[in-house]
Chains A and B, each alone.
Chain A
Amino acid sequence: MASQQQLSVIKGAKVLMVGAGGIGCELLKTLALSGFQDIHIIDMDTIEVSNLNRQFLFRKSHVGLSKAKVARDAVLRFRPQVSITSYHANVKNQEFNVDFLKQFSVVLNGLDNLDARRHVNRLCLAADVPLVESGTTGFLGQVTVHVKGKTECYECQPKPAPKTYPVCTITSTPSKFVHCIVWAKDLLFTKLFGDKNQENDLNVRSSDPASSSDHAEDIFQLNKDETIEHYGRRVFDHVFGYNIEVALSNEDTWKNRNKPRPIYSRDILPEEPTKQNGNTDKNCATDDQSLISAMTSLGIKNPQEIWSLMENSRIFIEAIKLFFTKREKDVGNLAFDKDDQLAVEFVTAAANIRAESFGIPMHSLFESKGIAGNIVHAVATTNAIIAGLIVIEAIKVLQNDANNYRMTYCLEHPSRKMLLMPVEPFEPNKSCYVCSETPLSLEINTHHAKLRDFVEKIVKAKLGMNFPLIMHGAALLYEVGDDLDEDMVANYTANLEKVLSELPSPVVSGTILSVEDLQQELSCSINIKHRDEFDEEKEPDGMVLSGWQQTPLEKDDCNKTLGNGESTSKTLPSAPDADKYDDSDMVASGRKRKLDEAVNISGEANSSKKPEVLDDDDDDLVMLDDGDNGDPAINKKKRLQ
């Protein structure tokens, strides 16, 4: 039971929750039970069947409805007197600006992606509203407190980039199943069913580029007078047969690698066998996309089973047929979606056939779906525990009890007898460009790089700004917004195509640019340094930003990379899955990595890295000591004063 003092801050608080998914449902319930009276909740998502095993406020009949709205209604049923305001919207919308944030006593995040987390962090800093941040995967979870000037902000620690793979690994030399999945999903699927005009690395560069390029253009086009069966086999033979033969001709590639085996449909499937075996009727009577399934047509039931090469090949052809007959209008504008059964079946089959060709073990549809959809493991219990911890921290924040703020880890295996481990929060990182005013510096070729390159590669991709405004002294170089007049827009569009040194107000070595996001109310200055040459492999952007932290990408002999997820699919954002800290984040954040070392979650015992403990008996607290990890970017933890 809460004390009187706690009850009074709880009753007076106005709380903003961002996210009504796995953590959100638990959090809304626990806030309401704890006596909170005024709760606002934002979530852009709608309910899906796979949410129901843990998002307990939702029922099967709610599938397709707004999470925020249904969660509100469900909680009002057991706590009707609480005021709950729901928003079925993206937290990045302009309506949720700094002024909107200022009305709240505390913001509680139950989000599923890095972008939105960074955005809310900036809004909270600008509005000076405390933020309690959280995330879970499987049995692991964490809760952190971010109070401006007192503790680090969400971005004080480097966040790892989403996992990407070198293009040549994907197109020519896959060695893991995930490489085959990325190939099947981002290249083949997109080529066959997505935007045909999109640049695509599907074809291996053959030794004779002139001959292959023409050939490649028509091969993925369904000819007017051919059957879909024929088309499917043609695609099959091209990507699993011909392309592999071409790749094999580059002998250097295979000096230290196992050679792949070309696979042709005639060797796997008897000629034209599946012609009207009657089973396709099962798919006939329906308009419901979710019921169109190659597995159903072929009578394959168990998604946990690994299919044979023949089964994969049949699914491959059948899926193409179904797309072209039952979902004709989707073809040409599809983006991979893990909740699209037929798309998952196609990608599983294609990835497995490619895996077989390269001697990589095949996987079940269930496993493939997890990899292709970046599905994060999630259970109800961890979310419930994390939600409880969020409320405990929120109450401390409301009481302004800074000495007792904690970040808490929920562990799968006990460390020092603890399953729930509180740690003192870190101090703000003085060189954080988000919460301190440290200038950044950018090395760039001012005679070659265009303003567009700077906007895309730095301002958007690295600084995470959505509505940037770029100024050189008093001169406005670029701006994004709804209320600009036409002349301005034309002017900015023209500027985008100019190289930096030829802008109306030239940007040269020594220039200080000021970059601002008006919605996030974040501004930073960037010192420009001209440099002529950049290493194509190590500096693929052709520019280097320093003072900004991100874990380096995996290095390889290619300078282009492909992600397994958001980064390459520009069309539909794949429906984010509930409660994850996107897999990159929760499990591998800088902080977590230290924790791994400190408490040996990974089981790799290293006694020199055990946490240092303040052993004053009553109040022992784990200190993370990163003394020997050699990373100067990571602050030592200090006691908050």
Chain B
Amino acid sequence: MDGEELTEQETQLYDRQIRVWGADAQRRLSKAHILVCGMKGAVAEFCKNIVLAGIGSLTLVDNRLVTEEALSANFLIPPDESVFGGKSVAELCCDSLKDFNPMVRVSVIKGEPSSFDEEFLKTFDVIVVSCCSLAEKKSVNEKCRKLPKRVSFYTVDCRDSCGEIFVDLQDYKYAKKKLEDTVECQLSYPSFEDAISVPWKVHPRKVSKLFYALRVIERFEEAEGRSPGETSVSDLPGVLKLKKEICESQLLNEAHIPNALVERLVTNPTEFPPVCAIIGGILGQEVIKAVSGKGDPLKNFFYFDAVDGKGTIEDISSQS
């Protein structure tokens, strides 16, 4: 194992979870450094989960000032102007998160995800980005892949009653229990750019409709120069037109992306708190798995839609 023992205080506090993942996984968690960008509801949930789990440090990035929308699904921000006035969303979340577990170092960095250089990024083990444009996702992901060490990269976004997680663990080795034995497993992940560039016609059968709908909206936001989630009902004709074009060029039956789903996502881009709890929970578990090297990580997209209640893993990588 990793040598160092857990302190008495840690054993006491983490008792119930050590019974789930073991003391050596707990030690690895306590040495993990995690960066998150974009503090909306799902990310707030995720941060709560990993701070409780006892990671080493958490660094938050979100320069926005508090707005009505920032408050909506985020329980880390007190809705009191005398408290939040003048502070950034990240600073406010940091204050609340510190309180959840005094053994975790929580801090704030100012800046934009695209401005971070490799020197900075390499100080982390896990990087999670949310509410980022397509270009930002690609750029942070590419920088992670160039670092001298393996850094796990995730994107997470929720809109309407839906959520999406993307995972890039690069070349990932982990231990898996099979009956009595522990076997070494290996997975090879594509980057975000590679994953979304896989031609749709070679996708596995019956990939979640959400994958396609979200790719269309992402392209729309990029083409129109919108911030992520900045769409409304007036954009619907434009998005549907784009959907048609993309489906034609990708040779995908248009009916596979129901207009009703696109409409929900475009007209109602705000988060739905129960879905944030679910997506933030799944992402928390995934990061804990990746850090501790225990258990099958998901590869490489996860979708949840409250309308059908299914939480589905999709593997979209060039090999398949």
Contacts and interface: CB of A to CB of B under 8 A. Distances in A.
Name the residue in A52, A139, A303, A380 with the highest tally of chain B Cβ atoms < 10 Å from its Cβ: A380
Given A301-B8, A619-B308, A380 B73 contact: no
A34 B308 contact: no
B259 interface: no
Interface in A350-386: 366, 370, 375-385
Contacts of A377: 16-17, 19-20
Contacts of B23: 304
Contacts of A54: 16-17, 52
A578 B53 CA distance: 16
A1 B272 contact: yes
A20 B21 CA distance: 24
B306 A53 contact: no
B313 A138 contact: no
A419 interface: yes
B13 A50 contact: yes
Contact of B310 (A32, A384, A385, A418): A418
Interface stretch (A252-260, A388-396, A489-497): A388-396
A49 B14 CA distance: 9
B274 A139 contact: no
Nearest to B10: A53
Contact of A30 (B161, B269, B274, B311): B274
B100 interface: yes
A419 B314 contact: no
A302 interface: yes
A370 B73 CA distance: 36
A33 B75 contact: yes
Interface string A407-428: 0100011100111111000000
B16 A417 contact: no
Contacts of A412: 295
Nearest to B160: A1
A412 B20 CA distance: 12
A56 B52 contact: yes
Contacts of A618: 258
Interface in A225-261: none
A53 B270 contact: no
B310 A50 contact: no
Contacts of B16: 50, 53-54, 375-379, 577-578
Interface in A116-166: 138-139
A29 interface: yes
Interface string B161-196: 100000000000000000000000000000000000
A418 B313 contact: yes
Contact of A49 (B13, B285, B311): B13
A419 B271 contact: no
A49 B12 contact: yes
A53 B52 contact: yes
Contact of B52 (A302, A380, A422): A380
Given A378-B16, A380-B284, A389 B278 contact: yes
B268 interface: yes
B281 interface: yes
B284 A381 contact: yes
Interface string B270-283: 11111111101110
Interface residues of A, number: 61
A80 B81 CA distance: 13
B54 interface: yes
B79 interface: yes
A34 B73 CA distance: 8
Contacts of B45: 384
Contacts of B206: 617
A26 B78 CA distance: 17
Interface in B12-54: 12-21, 23, 41, 45, 48-49, 52-54
A387 interface: yes
A502 B239 CA distance: 83
B227 interface: no
Contact of A379 (B20, B100, B273, B308): B20
Interface in A277-326: 301-304
Contacts of B14: 53
Identify the interface centre among A29, A30, A302, A385: most chain B CB within 10 Å of its CB: A385
Contacts of A303: 11
B288 interface: yes
Interface stretch (B59-67, B115-123, B242-250, B296-304): B296-304
Interface string A27-61: 00110111000000000000001101110100110
B272 A387 contact: no
A385 B79 contact: no
Nearest to B12: A49
A33 B70 CA distance: 12
A61 B282 CA distance: 29
A577 B269 CA distance: 39
Contacts of A614: none
A418 B282 contact: no
A609 interface: no
B308 A422 contact: yes
A1 B270 contact: yes
A343 B27 CA distance: 28
A379 B14 CA distance: 9
A381 B75 contact: no
A493 B202 CA distance: 78
A416 B198 CA distance: 22
B13 A419 contact: no
Contact of B274 (A49, A59, A304, A391): A391
Nearest to A32: B75
A380 B13 contact: no
Contact of B311 (A32, A138, A391, A419): A419
A484 interface: no
A34 B72 CA distance: 9
A56 B79 contact: no
A50 B12 contact: yes
A52 B100 CA distance: 8
A305 to B, nearest CB: 9
B79 A78 contact: yes
Contacts of B276: 33, 388
B99 interface: yes
A420 B304 contact: yes
Contact of A384 (B6, B280, B309, B311): B280
Interface string B90-106: 00000000011110000
Contacts of B142: none
A139 B285 contact: yes
A302 B10 CA distance: 12
B21 to A, nearest CB: 8
Given A1-B271, A419-B311, A420-B309, A80 B79 contact: yes
B77 interface: yes
A79 interface: yes
A600 B23 CA distance: 28
A414 B78 contact: no
B312 interface: yes
Interface in A52-72: 52-54, 56, 59-60
B17 A382 contact: no
B230 interface: no
Residue among A366, A389, A578 with most chain B CB within 10 A:
A389
B73 A33 contact: yes
Contacts of A387: 274, 277
Interface of A: 1-3, 26, 29-30, 32-34, 49-50, 52-54, 56, 59-60, 77-80, 138-139, 301-304, 366, 370, 375-385, 387-389, 391-392, 406, 408, 412-414, 417-422, 577-578, 617-619
5 pairs of A and B residues whose beta carbons are closest in the complex: A420-B311, A388-B277, A422-B309, A33-B273, A385-B281
30 contacts: A1-B161, A2-B161, A3-B268, A26-B277, A33-B273, A53-B17, A56-B100, A78-B75, A301-B8, A304-B6, A379-B21, A380-B49, A380-B284, A381-B53, A381-B282, A381-B288, A383-B281, A384-B284, A387-B274, A388-B274, A388-B275, A389-B309, A391-B277, A406-B309, A408-B309, A412-B295, A417-B313, A418-B311, A420-B309, A422-B308
